[in-house]
Structures are given as C-alpha cells and as structure tokens.
Amino acid sequence: MKISELHPSVRPYERLESYGAESLSDEELLAIVIRSGTKGKSSKDIASQLLSNIDNPDGLCGLYKLTLKELADQEGVGRVKAIVLKACLELGRRSYMRYGSQSRIRLLTSDVASGYFEEKMAFLETEEVHVALLDNQQSLISHHVICKGSVNGVGLCFRELFRMAVKANATGLILAHNHPSGDPTPSEEDIETTLNLKKSGELIGISVVDHIIIGRGISFSMLKNGLMEEK
C-alpha cells in the first residue's frame, strides 16, 4: 500500500505536523527522508527494510556506518536516495556533536559526563582513549584524544597526560574509552590502570574524577559504580 493511500492519521508527514518529530518512530522518520517508494514498495517499506536488514544489525546507528555504495545498493534506495540519507545522517551527527558548544559545558555528574562522551565516541569503530580536562567548577576546559587503541594495549602515558592537564591549568580530569564490542564492562586492567592514574594525579593535585567506558547505546561510569576507590 502506498503512503498516500493510508489514513492521514498514520501517514508520517501528517503525524509529524500534528505531534512533532519526536513522536515518530525511526521507520517513519526514515520514510520521510526517503520520500518516495518504488514499484511494489512504499517509502515505509524501504525504511523498514533498511532498519532490519541482515547486513545492518545495528538499525539506525548502523546506517551511519554503511558506505554510500552500500546504501545505494540496498533495494529501493539507489544513488540519489543514498546521497540524501548520507547527508541527513551527517547533519544529525554534527548537530549532536555541537549541541551545547556555545555555552560552557559542566560535567557535574557521571550521567552528564557519560552523555558528553557518548556524543563523541558512540560511532567509533576502533578503541580510543579520550580525556576531558576540567576546572575547579568541573567545567570543561578542553577535550583531547590521548591514543587510539585500548588503555592497556597502547599504554596510557601518565606523564604526558598530566603535563597536558598542568599546561591547561586543569584541576581535574575525566578519562573515557570505548569498547567497540558494545559491552562497556571494565576489565580488571581497566580498573587497575584507573586507580594507578588516580594515585598519580593525587601527587600533583589533579583529581581523576571518573573513568567512563562507552559501549553501544550504554556506558559504564567507574565513579557511579564505586570503582574509583581501592577496596
């Protein structure tokens, strides 16, 4: 059935006008972007197919990872729709990344800090270690990528990290790294590295506030889970 043949109350365009974009499902929003269907398939059918494709187990997030050619090769998509989809996904990513950039960001709680790092690290396909340097009000001074690879595999350089913090006049920092597997559970090595980093910071008056591990759609705060103190 074509979307035009549906009752107005269930058409994506009309539903967005009546209830707002936030009320629509991923499938409905994607159908609006796709605009038109093909013979035998409506734009909603194509959207549903894209979100449930066996080659894309991650749904909407997985679309961002597909190349332009991979998108274009999907049934009912083609070159033009693939370009539009890519543009929309990139606009969404950029707006998400830049949200709040006009005002000073304060990472006052583990949940706020987790959200901040998720914005920057949720789409990474390889492991990276990031740090947020903070002032004494826990306002963000700067954000840095420390290394690419695991905290333990690459070897976190404590001296360089704290030199960076001192140079920025930071009084605290929050460490973060991602687990591309999707499971944010910290390893024993993650915990040990964090506690050693915290001890080193205490010697020079820089507080290691938290270490957050970013998974897929979920994160793990060592502070929130009571792992920032030795037992």
- In order, the DSSP letters of the chain are --GGGS-GGG-HHHHHHHH-GGGS-HHHHHHHHH---BTTB-HHHHHHHHHH-TT-TTHHHHHHHS-HHHHHTSTTTHHHHHHHHHHHHHHHHHHHHHTTTTS--B--SHHHHHHHHHHHHTT-SS-EEEEEEE-TT-BEEEEEEEEES-IIIII--HHHHHHHHHHTT-SEEEEEEE-TTS--PPPHHHHHHHHHHHHHHHHHT-EEEEEEEE-SS-EEETTTTT-SS--
pLDDT of residue 2: 57
Domain parsing of the chain, residue ranges: 3-98, 110-221
Q: Evaluate whether 3-98 and 110-221 have a shared fold.
A: no
User: Which CATH number describes the domain made up of 3-98?
Assistant: 1.10.150
pLDDT of residue 55: 64
Q: What digits encode the pLDDT tens for the residues 94-127?
A: 776 665 554 568 899 999 999 999 988 888 888 8
Domain 110-221 class in CATH: alpha beta
For the chain (231 residues), the mean pLDDT of every run of 10, in chain order, is: 60 85 87 86 88 72 84 90 91 68 76 91 86 92 82 62 90 93 90 91 94 92 93 73
Instruction: With 0.85 as the threshold, say if the pTM is over it.
Output: no
